[in-house]
Structure 1
Amino acid sequence: MSIPSNSKIGNGPRRPVGWTSVIAALSARMAWLSLYLSVLVRHPLEGLAIAWWWLARRRLRALGRLRAAAAGLPQVYRWWSVLHRSSFEDPWPPGLPAPHIIIHLHLASGHDAEAARRACLSVFRQSYTAWTLIVTTQDGTPILPHHAGLHIAPGTFPTRAAALRHVLATASCEYIVPIDSSIQLTRGALHAYAATISDMSPAASRSIHPVVYADQDELDEHGNQTNPWLKPEWNPEMFVAQDYLSAACALPRQAAWSTLERAPSLDETPDDGIVSCLLAYMLIGQNAPSPVHIDYIAATTADRAWQILPPGRMEAIRRLLPDASMKRGPFGTLDCTHPVPPFAPKVSIIVPTRDRIDLLRPCIDSVLRLTDYPDYELIIVDNGSRENETLAYFDQASGDLRVRVLRWPYAYNYSAINNFAVAQASGQYICLLNNDTEVIAPQWLSVMMSHAIGQDIGAVGARLLYADRSIQHAGVVIGMGGAAGHAHRGIPEDDPGYFAQSLIARQATAVTAACLVVSKAKFESVGGLDERDLAIAYNDIDLCLKLRGQGLRNIYEPRALLYHYESKSRGLDFAPEHLARYLRELGVFQQRWSTVGFRDPTHHRMLDPASETYRLKV
């Protein structure tokens, strides 16, 4: 069966025009009005304040308060969808060639006929028309709605893998969108894929085209779209831990076909897991181009489908990463641990302190008592302690051959203290550790080192909890609040956060130095911490961004679990005696890294940059 590779429909302007523009504007106005009325009903005083600011012609303030008040409303996604309607939902004007896209739907024996019908109708309703829907079946001709673009492949196929192999072999197109009967494409899905493919066309001479993936939502029990998953850019560690691509993706046909040819074990993959496993073989450990992300919700899945581990995925990744240990994690995730070499590199754990024995003793004792990593030294850097109990504890701790005490008798400068200690450290790797932390998980340093030894890895950060076991740190997002913020701060320890991202190892743009592991050589290659302009605040985030600038990736590792009694030893930055210094360092950091409006690749642009708990940006 031969499928046409291109069709002339054009990929011109992607903005609404004519009546479409008028209707979109009216819909947005109605959405704002509906949003305001809901706020007024639920929060009358705030609703009246918003109205007052609006009538006083302070409309930016009114809209800002309306957005903040609406963020927690249950209907916010419905309003958000109207307010941020995409031009992908409009037809393309004729004029320019557009790529032909194949959609593949496989129907197994005993499939849900109504679900298959809905999946087909979602394709028929596309704003983009240069497509062909190929349906393959396990046991004969299905009863489906008629459409000129629907082709039922002749014959039967014992598995979805066999059917996909047939489609990849016979279609003459660049990309194939695989769906099953539980997935419905949103109206602009194929337009979004086609636009992205067209935008890549100047580099069409490349030998391998990238996977393209998009955002997704799900249907609740009442059939309403809900729970949008606004995804990060390509994140290799996250993909190993969690399949966030397969429900909404376009596969480059040639690369997918080649992968099936070299990995015959994929033919045995269960139907529900074949696309996930195929993607794993295409992307893990391969010299493949990074997948391209589209900021658009292209697929609607069944309720909580994201929480299901695709069948066969763990076995596939185990074959791809044979040296790693693998077990199931919560919410459909995988817990993958890479081994540390038999002769583990030495780590120098650096703990600056000034008195506060009530904090220092639990920190040091927990490291020495619980840490299962085989080779480390612990360097306590004394910044002018005076209390007899603290000085006596230094003598006591020094009796352990793993412990050294260094003296830094100068004004407090976090960056300078740590740079000084790093220069004295004997380890190949450095762990910066605050004195107001306490180890919980014995494997904390081992799992951090399993990442840190990677040649392309910069800093590795831990999962830190407040004393009440709510999250203090689960990675840092640049641009939050105009500077940087801690992802998932304040949520309970067992809360998965935004689509389980607090629970999985993944790339983070930055991590906090309250507990940070990095190669000594890499630390020194970027000049260490900035002791001149960032003596106390933002020096750790600055370090991570310098490492990132060298092409290195920073990692958040949730299995490295510690308490962090934040800033108890040095005081809060917003205390009156520290505020001027903090604002000066904030200004340096913002200017150096242009953090206002920064597009963090780990944080979707349509998530609220003022929220550390991943709310929609209304």
Structure 2
Amino acid sequence: MLKLSKNFIILGAPFYSKEVEEAEAEVRNFFSKSTGKHHIYLEEHVKNGLPSHNELETFLNKNGYGFQCYETNNISNWLLLQLFTFYAYAHGIPPQDVARVYKYYNENFIELGDFLQPTYRKIYLIGKGKLPSLKSKLEINKNIDLLKYHKLLSLIFNCIGNHNVREDNHIKNLNKIINDLNNHIQLKEKKIFEKDNHIKNLESTLSNIQNSITWQLLKKYQGLIEKILPLGTKRRHIYDLALIGLRIIINEGWSVFWPKFKKILFQKIPFSKLKDPYRIWILKNEPPREKLEEYKKEALSFKYRPKISIITPVWNTDKRWLRKCIESVLNQVYDNWELCIVDGGSNKSHVKKILDEYAKKESRIKVKFLPENEGIAGNSNKALSLATGEFVCLLDHDDELAPFALYEVVKLLNEKPHLDFIYSDEDKIDEKGKRKDPFFKPDWSPDMFLSQNYLCHLSIIRKELVDKVGGFREEYDGSQDYDLFLRIVELIDEKRIAHIPKILYHWRLIRGSAAATVSAKPYALMTARKALKDALARKKIKSEVLDGLFPSSYRIKYKILENPKISIIIPTKDKVNILKNCVNSILEKTNYKNYEIIIIDNQSKEEKTFKYYDRIKYNSKIKILKYNKPFNFSAINNYAVSQVDTEYILFLNNDTEVISGEWLKAMLEHAQRKEVGAVGAKLLYPDNTIQHAGVILGITGTPGQKGVAGHSHKYLSDREYGFFLRPHLIQNLSAVTAACMMMRKEVFLEVNGFDENLKVAFNDVDLCLRIREKGYLVVYTPYANLYHYESLTRGYEDNPEKQARFLKEVQYIRQKWGYVIDKGDPYYNPNLTLEKEDFSIKI
């Protein structure tokens, strides 16, 4: 700044002093207690420290710069106004009331002693060489006008008092409303009681129907129909139409049949489109043209209408795709946007011609031409310099926005104006305009974000944050957006990140593009790893960044701290060959050595079981406990935990077999993280298809019924990608199976262990939900690999007694967690089916 300045600069800032440190600490604590949040800028002062005025003045003297220093912002006044401001923020005092206090202070700051020491800020006038003295011209009366100071205090107290009076009146009104609502609730409860009795009668009737021969025949008939007339086929379409027509005739008669049936017939989706499930999804879920007109009117009435700056770097873009890209912005139903385009010295003449054409037609389009290409990051930063919006939106030069993209973003901001980062689902669009490969994403998953830049498109970020981190960094070209996202999410609470589960961005699928193949930009994989390494270094996390199991994925391998002991708890009953296989695989393959195996025997009877125990009981790594009560998975494991004194526990089924030697390390590296509550593994069937890659809430497998949970990607070959690599990424999930689950013992005790009402099923889901309720993350890692022979000890739910117990446990967990399950799994997507475990589209 001094080198660029012609004459002098003015520098104003808080500088370190004991008084400033104490005042900031008081304000910081008050803000934290009042709001439950950390003050971002004051926390930054703690983290980085305040500058020293002595060091600054020494530097200026050493380099021959003249300077004059003026004290401002009396500490007491600064403290008073900061505490008042934060109180107003926490308690919702109207901004106009707060503004009156500040207006009075700014009009009378000299008489109010603003320059009295000690002060919060110092102002330096710095120049080249000697400066003319301004001291005599800035002589200030440093006496406080007590009358004006008392008036300031009066304004503050009146502001708070008036707000309290309004609050008291509001509370009285609310109490009246609450009384009215209580009366209303009592009437409703009476009706609910009557309805419950009615439902019980209906359930009894339904049970009789479902157990009837007719119902069983209908189920078999429906299964036959599904086989011979699959969904999406022409013959199934004709069958469905015939069924609809028959229902109209039976229920409403011949007189209304043709008019009603004709209407249904012509509303039905054409056969050609039924073959593509995604095409069906688009027709069912995205707004038609007339709906977009309604959105346009609605957008004009939004109370909060922030300007969104769309950042688009351009270089030698094909004229078709450049026009498509710009037209997709012009077609937005939300109108408060600006398109900031920077051309990086394109040598194709049509680029300048097209950009000039649009810039002349539309004032919201800003264009800048660079003499040479500065790379993706450099060009993007130049585009950022044109932006004046409150938020920025990233749009590649050959991609398209959905016409309702910005509308959906601003609609969400009207509901949650505190958001700083919003991302959406996306798909790809080929050269013929056909949309494919929809990426229906989970909500914020910090571990998945470190495994893959799944946020990508569409991303909307508060501009002040982009400015704060310095925009894009040129040394990360190819993964410049990943690097930017990593730096921004470090600054904000996860509650300020939101996901819109709608396709708002179309990524152009053309030969040579990153959308078509990862190998199109191999340098992007290198810069992504570099960005991840930098992010972990900034957080002082000891780890290494490795390539993932598939291209464009990564593994953060955390360094294991110290050498903690792990108790591997294995419940078992007879079938000793299964147990022996499990134990041998642990002893022979595990490359982490500080563990013990706790075999907990549940009423075994076979002689060969006890002979095996006799052979292994002298192994220092093995302990054998007895649990002499009827089988209850939850109770058995709770008892086992009470008998161990290790820091880490791992629940393991006896019908598992270790595959990867690092399985225990791969789980421990996450279990040791203080924010993680439970860690699950990838479990495979003997044919190397997936048995467990995490648990998804709500999956039922039965159309029309509310479920509890199912396993992600069950029966998928472990060699296949799955849904956007989900089975092969370290990620956060709502639950993992206790067939192989690790956690810190303190977490297990904090949530009171397994719920013993769940003897067999869903006890792991319940445990994980309670862990998440406490604020911990549940992590799934594909780097802990085991075979799971599934239910070899107890068998399947294949007799009436077991099925009755299973249904009872379903009912129990739905009563306990139904409100959470039915809200939708945050690590799944509402556009994916709950009737299968394969992440297929819900249509």
TM-score tier after normalising by the smaller chain length: 0.7 to 0.9
Q: How does 1:168-567 map to 2 (within 5 A)?
A: 168-201=384-417, 203=418, 209-220=419-430, 222-260=432-470, 266-270=473-477, 272-284=478-490, 290-303=496-509, 305=515, 308=518, 310-311=524-525, 312-322=527-537, 323-329=542-548, 330-341=550-561, 343-481=562-700, 482-531=707-756, 533-567=757-791
Are residues 567 and 154 of structure 1, via their aligned partners in 2, closer, same or farther at CA, if it must alter by over 3 Å?
A: same
Shifted more, 344-353 versus 119-128: the winner is: 119-128
**Cα distance in 2 between the residues matched to 1:219 and 1:50:** 32
**Cα distance in 2 between the residues matched to 1:257 and 1:288:** 20
Q: Which amino acid aligns with 1:517?
A: M
Aligned-pair CA distance for 1:473: 0.6
SS at match of 2:309: strand
- What is the match of residue 286 of structure 2? 85
Cα offsets for 1:28-71 (capped at 9, x unmatched)? xxxxxxxxxx9688363685266326623599xxx9xxx9xx9x
Shifted more, 566-575 versus 229-238: the winner is: 566-575
Shifted more, 74-83 versus 375-384: the winner is: 74-83
Across the aligned residues of Structure 1 and Structure 2, the Cα RMSD in angstroms comes to 2.6
Q: Which amino acid aligns with 1:578?
A: K
SS at match of 2:296: coil
Shifted more, 491-500 versus 509-518: the winner is: 491-500
SS at match of 1:321: helix
Shifted more, 172-181 versus 151-160: the winner is: 151-160
Question: Is 1:130 aligned to 2:336, yes or no?
Answer: yes
Is the 2:425–2:441 contact (alpha carbons within 8 Å) kept by the matching residues of 1? yes
Paired residues, number: 559
Are residues 96 and 326 of structure 1, via their aligned partners in 2, closer, same or farther at CA, if it must alter by over 3 Å?
A: closer
Question: Is 1:153 aligned to 2:354, yes or no?
Answer: no
Aligned-pair CA distance for 1:588: 0.3
SS at match of 1:498: coil
Aligned-pair CA distance for 1:289: 5.0
Gapped regions of structure 2 (runs ≥ 5): 1-228, 252-263, 701-706
Shifted more, 450-459 versus 573-582: the winner is: 573-582
Which structure is larger by alpha-carbon Rg, 1 or 2?
A: 2
Aligned-pair CA distance for 1:220: 3.8
**Cα distance in 1 between the residues matched to 2:675 and 2:543:** 18
Counterpart pick for 2:327 among 121, 130, 133: 121
SS at match of 2:791: coil
**Cα distance in 2 between the residues matched to 1:612 and 1:231:** 16
Q: Which amino acid aligns with 1:299?
A: Y
Are residues 600 and 45 of structure 1, via their aligned partners in 2, closer, same or farther at CA, if it must alter by over 3 Å?
A: closer
Q: Which amino acid aligns with 1:336?
A: I
Counterpart pick for 1:100 among 300, 307, 311: 307
So what's the TM-score if we normalise by structure 2?
0.63
Is the 1:413–1:536 contact (alpha carbons within 8 Å) kept by the matching residues of 2? yes
Is the 1:438–1:562 contact (alpha carbons within 8 Å) kept by the matching residues of 2? yes
SS at match of 2:426: strand
Q: Which amino acid aligns with 1:529?
A: F
Aligned-pair CA distance for 1:468: 1.3
Is the 1:169–1:257 contact (alpha carbons within 8 Å) kept by the matching residues of 2? no
Are residues 56 and 518 of structure 1, via their aligned partners in 2, closer, same or farther at CA, if it must alter by over 3 Å?
A: same
**Cα distance in 2 between the residues matched to 1:432 and 1:545:** 17
User: Which of the pair has the greater relative contact order for Cα pairs under 8 Å at 6+ separation?
Assistant: 1
Cα offsets for 1:377-398 (capped at 9, x unmatched)? 1000011112222111112222
**Cα distance in 1 between the residues matched to 2:234 and 2:626:** 56
Shifted more, 278-287 versus 380-389: the winner is: 278-287
Aligned-pair CA distance for 1:430: 0.7
Q: Which amino acid aligns with 1:535?
A: K
Identity across the alignment (%)? 31
**Cα distance in 1 between the residues matched to 2:322 and 2:236:** 48
- What is the match of residue 593 of structure 1? 817
**Cα distance in 2 between the residues matched to 1:333 and 1:302:** 21
Cα offsets for 1:1-28 (capped at 9, x unmatched)? xxxxxxxxxxxxxxxxxxxxxxxxxxxx
Aligned-pair CA distance for 1:327: 2.0
Aligned-pair CA distance for 1:565: 0.8
**Cα distance in 2 between the residues matched to 1:289 and 1:171:** 26
SS at match of 1:56: helix
Q: Which amino acid aligns with 1:355?
A: D
Are residues 393 and 134 of structure 1, via their aligned partners in 2, closer, same or farther at CA, if it must alter by over 3 Å?
A: same
SS at match of 1:143: helix
Is the 1:349–1:433 contact (alpha carbons within 8 Å) kept by the matching residues of 2? yes
